[in-house]
């Protein structure tokens, strides 16, 4: 009995592909993205740009700073220094903050280059099951006031808000060398590989 699925045909190249051995960009056909990239030799792309669906996800790693939506959740807000409280003050109102979101308290100086430092007051979430843990948004009315499920003691720190499509942490893909034989999958709008006359990459198109 066959499997009634379009995943293979739409996601892994039956809709087209291209090979490239030069340091020039690859652009998919209109309405499509690059869904998989196969490396025929070790290669360090200079550009690997994800589709970046932001709050509507899913999202994928990239060499472009603006695409790193997983790094600081669906949004990030600085907090004023305060004593331990479940009602810290946000630096501004934010429509992306929703009741029930998990939060992480990180340093305001954290960047995509050095990663995040998660404060112990907001443990790494376990979203479900008997070991479920983490700090969540209990109430938020759209202003600078917020109520959390556990107290935090912010000191030059910010809250990262997690949702169904946006987590936290990681680095960008600049300078990464992908080994021969590796295939990465995602949703990419372009790639510029490193020139390699004897290798290069194969890019597969899909919706």
Q: What is the pLDDT of residue 1?
A: 47
CB contact set of 2 (below 8 Å; sequence gap of 6+): none
Residue in this structure with the two tokens 């029930």, named with its chain if needed: 100
Specify the length of the chain in residues.
207
Q: Are residues 186 and 197 in the same domain?
A: yes
Q: In this structure, is residue 136 part of a structural domain?
A: yes
93 against 113, higher pLDDT: 93
Higher pLDDT among residues 17 and 57, named by residue: 17
A 10 A CB-CB count for 179 gives: 9
Buried b (16+ CB within 10 A) or exposed e, 129-140: eeeeebbbbeeb
CA dihedral 121, 133, 149, 109 (to 10 degrees): 40
Task: Show the tokens assigned to 183.
Answer: 């295939």
Mean pLDDT value across residues 136-161: 96
Same domain, 75 and 164: yes
Q: What CATH number is given to the structural domain containing 192? A: 2.60.120
Residues 101 and 160 both lie in one domain: yes
**How many domains are contained in the chain?**
2
Q: What residues make up the domain containing 197?
A: 15-68+172-206
pLDDT in the model for residue 33: 95
Res 59 pLDDT > 90: no
pLDDT band at 44, cuts 50/70/90?
very high
Residue 23 lies inside a defined structural domain of this protein: yes
Among 62, 40, 27, CA closest to 174: 62
Question: Which pTM value belongs to this model?
Answer: 0.84
CB atoms within 10 A of CB 121: 16
Rounded Cα–Cα distance for residues 88 and 78 (Å): 10
Q: Is there a domain that residue 39 lies in?
A: yes
Average pLDDT, the chain: 91
């Amino acid at each position: 009995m066959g499997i009634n699925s379009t995943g293979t045909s739409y996601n892994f190249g039956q809709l087209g592909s291209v090979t490239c051995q030069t340091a020039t960009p690859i652009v998919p056909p209109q309405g499509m993205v690059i869904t998989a990239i196969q490396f025929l030799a070790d290669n360090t792309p200079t550009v690997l740009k994800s589709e970046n669906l932001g709050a509507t996800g899913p999202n994928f790693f990239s060499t472009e700073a603006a695409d790193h939506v997983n790094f600081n959740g669906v949004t990030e807000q600085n907090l004023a220094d305060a004593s331990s409280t479940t009602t810290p003050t946000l630096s501004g109102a934010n429509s992306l903050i929703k009741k029930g979101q998990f939060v992480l308290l990180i340093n305001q100086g954290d960047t995509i280059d050095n990663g995040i430092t998660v404060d112990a007051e907001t443990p790494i979430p376990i979203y479900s099951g008997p070991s479920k843990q983490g700090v969540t948004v209990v109430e938020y009315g759209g202003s600078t006031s917020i109520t959390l499920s556990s107290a935090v003691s912010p000191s030059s720190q910010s809250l990262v808000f997690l949702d169904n499509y946006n987590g936290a942490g990681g680095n960008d893909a600049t300078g990464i060398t992908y080994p021969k034989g590796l295939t990465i999958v995602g949703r990419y709008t372009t790639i510029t590989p490193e020139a390699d006359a004897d290798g290069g990459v194969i890019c597969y198109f899909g919706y």
